[in-house]
Amino acid sequence: MSRWPKKRLRFLLNKSIPAEGRRLIEEASEVTFLPMEAIGEQGELDTSRVIKFDEASTGYTLFFDGDVVVAKITPCFENGKGALINSTATGLGLGTTELYVLRPSASLDGKYLYYITANPAFRILGETQMTGAAGQKRVPEDFVRDYIVAVPPVSEQRQISRYLDTEIGVIDTLISTKVAWLELLAEKRRAIVAEAIMRGLNPVAPLRPSGIDWLGDIPAHWEAIPLRFLVSFSGGATPDTRNLHYWNGPIPWVSPKDMKRDFIDDAEDHVSEAALDNSALKMIEPEAILIVVRGMILAHSFPTAINTVPVTINQDMKALRCAEKIAPAFLVDVLKGAKDYLVSLADSSAHGTKKLETEALGRFEVPLPPLVEQHDIVCHIAIETAKIDRLRAATEHSIALLQERRGALIAAAVTGQIEIPEAA
């Protein structure tokens, strides 16, 4: 509404730690820890992880209950990662350094501040201001603090927040229901893949024990061979991000954020011939299997794809070149079917980052039917999973519409474009 004054966020935030916060620091022993994966894209928080404060008080981002955190790094910022901090173990916590902490002053309600940062306009404009290169782009702090917001009285801010909590809650419940349906579809899809790669397509084929925990019995005429005897491994690298001559060239540089497709024909970032000549990068020719072996995405899945054009990859990935006795598409299906087992092989660092070492991956035993049978299995899986994928696509479209409605409602509320009922 026009009667609302507009101010830069920096004039509505406290940068200093309040007296109560200093007391909490002095008394802190164990505190909540928030890695990036503990922060959701719709304001969710997982505050279950606790660490010793005196062992980790430096090198992390300090926050208190009532603060709002916003991810600063791509793609977390664009995806909406951020939350109002609450329900920490002791009133304060530590998190990844890839967070900005916004501490509202008395003139700004914390929940209203969260909704300001959840406004799609904030995220879209912030994305245009990002600096850096190659998966390391960050939104500048000055953008966040200079962002201009409408500032109704605190009583109206709270009224808006209550209204949005109710309306967004209904939308989020619908989204959660559809996400649960997607999970059921994914489970059905996994079952189709697992049955085919572990038992084959002949339901009466004689079976024998494989001697492998994750695999169980397999058709008697199949082999089980460690992956290291079936593929060659290639690693990746990140050229110097400070050297602009290495970037924005013609060569796709695949990173985990590109691994949302079954076939890779391009990447979000690109490198130059100079980068290829002056770094540890290697050209990966088509028909290699690309996998993520380190990072947040590995902690939840084991993304697998085949490149259809020459590419390079970053250091969080491996490329697998198949020997003649195994079809790349069949191995992709095996890796997808054994996703949970492969994730379990990954070690965690002190900071919770998952990493799957090449040695452990090489020991992974692959069920291996004859080549003709491999191709039949791949065709069967493609046909059956396509049916599920059509249902998934329709459900994802409906979720996207709900998320669009969610964003539009937040934008309209925090910019005064809609009347908020008095009872809100």
Q: What is the CATH number of the domain that holds 98?
A: 3.90.220.20
The answer to whether residue 308 is domain-embedded is yes
The whole domain housing 319 covers: 223-368
Parallel/antiparallel/unpaired status of strands 247-254 and 312-313: parallel
Q: Do 28 and 129 sit in the same domain of this protein?
A: yes
For residues 302 and 343, the answer to whether their CB atoms sit within 8 Å is yes
Residue 227 and residue 364 share a domain: yes
One domain for residues 21 and 122: yes
* Cβ atoms < 10 Å from Cβ of 67: 27
H/E run at residue 399: helix 371-414
Helices of type H across 253-295: 273-277
Q: How does pLDDT run along the chain (424 residues), one tens digit per residue?
A: 457 999 999 999 998 898 888 999 888 888 999 999 999 999 999 999 998 887 766 789 999 999 999 999 999 999 999 999 998 989 999 999 999 999 999 999 999 999 999 999 999 999 999 998 766 899 999 999 999 999 999 999 999 999 999 999 999 999 999 999 999 999 999 999 999 999 999 999 999 999 888 899 999 999 999 999 999 999 999 999 889 999 999 999 999 999 989 999 999 999 999 999 999 999 999 999 999 998 878 777 788 999 999 999 999 999 999 999 999 999 999 999 998 899 888 887 645 678 899 999 999 999 999 999 999 999 999 999 999 999 999 999 999 999 999 999 999 999 999 888 876 5
Report pLDDT for 347. 83
Do 143 and 229 lie in a common domain? no
> Where a domain ends, among 102, 132, 150?
150
Q: Is 156 contained in some domain? A: no
Q: What is the structure's pLDDT at 391? A: 97
Output DSSP code: residue 17: P
Q: What is the CA radius of gyration of the chain?
A: 25
> Are 145 and 227 found together in one domain?
no
Pairwise CA distance, residues 287 & 308, whole Å: 6
Q: Evaluate whether residue 54 is within a structural domain.
A: yes
Q: How far apart are CA 162 and CA 156, in angstroms?
A: 10
Say which amino acid occupies 231. V
Instruction: Determine, yes or no, domain membership for 75.
Output: yes
Same domain assignment for residues 139 and 269 = no
Q: In this structure, are 124 and 261 located in the same domain?
A: no
Q: State whether 144 and 266 are in the same domain.
A: no
Residue 239 and residue 142 in one domain: no
Angle of the 110-118 helix axis to the 371-414 helix axis, nearest 10: 130
Q: How many residues does the chain have?
A: 424
> pLDDT at position 301, please?
78
Long-range Cβ contacts of 74-80 (<8 Å, 24+ apart)? 74/127, 74/130, 74/135, 74/136, 74/137, 74/138, 74/257, 75/257, 76/36, 76/39, 77/123, 77/126, 77/127, 77/130, 77/138, 77/139, 78/123, 78/126, 78/127, 79/41, 80/41, 80/42, 80/118, 80/123
- Cα separation, 108 vs 111, in Å, equals 9
Buried b / exposed e over 136-162, threshold 16 CB at 10 Å, is: ebbbeeebbbebebbbbeeebbbbbbe
pLDDT at site 352: 61
Same domain, 31 and 120: yes
Q: Please, are residues 381 and 196 in contact by the beta-carbon 8 Å criterion?
A: yes
Measure the CA–CA gap between 342 and 339, rounded to whole angstroms.
5
Helix, coil or strand: residue 129: coil
- Point out the domain boundary residue: 348, 368, 388: 368
Let me know if residue 385 belongs to a domain. no
Q: What is the dihedral of CA 81, 243, 290, 262, to 10 degrees?
A: 60
Asked which of 95, 117, 150 is the last residue of a domain, the reply is 150
Same domain, 227 and 146: no
The DSSP code for 244 is G
Do the Cβ atoms of 164 and 410 come closer than 8 Å? Answer: yes
Do 18 and 99 sit in the same domain of this protein?
Answer: yes
pLDDT at 398: 98
For the whole prediction, is pTM greater than 0.85?
no
CA distances from 297 to 50, 255, 355, 373 (A): 22, 11, 10, 32
Euclidean distance between CA atoms 310 and 105, whole angstroms: 52
Domain-located, residue 384: no
Q: Say which residue the tokens 């409602």 belong to.
A: 409
Rounded Cα distance between 359 and 227, Å, is 10
The answer to the question of residue 120 being in a domain is yes
Taking alpha carbons only, the member of 113, 80, 163 closest to residue 404 is 80
Residue 389 lies in a domain: no
Q: Residue 186 corresponds to which tokens in the numbers above?
A: 């994914």
Domains held by the chain: number:
2
